[in-house]
Amino acid sequence: MGRESGASAGPEKRLRPDSPESRDDAALQALFAAANAARQHAYAPYSRFRVGAAVLSASGAIHAGCNVENAAFPVGTCAEAGAVAAMVAAGETRIRAVLVLGEGPQLVTPCGACRQRLREFASGDLPVYCADENGIRRSLQLDLLLPASFGPDNLPAEQGPAES
Measured from the Cβ of residue 4, the count of other Cβ atoms closer than 10 Å reads: 14
Side-by-side strand order, sheet with 95-101: 62-66, 52-57, 95-101, 127-132, 135-141
77 burial level (CB within 10 Å; 0-12, 13-18, 19+): middle
For 3-51, list the strands marked E by DSSP: none
Set 4, 21, 80, 158: catalytic member: 80
Contacts of 4 by beta carbon, 8 Å cutoff, 6+ apart: 109, 110, 111, 112
69 is catalytic: no
Measured from the Cβ of residue 158, the count of other Cβ atoms closer than 10 Å reads: 5
Q: Which residues are catalytic?
A: 80
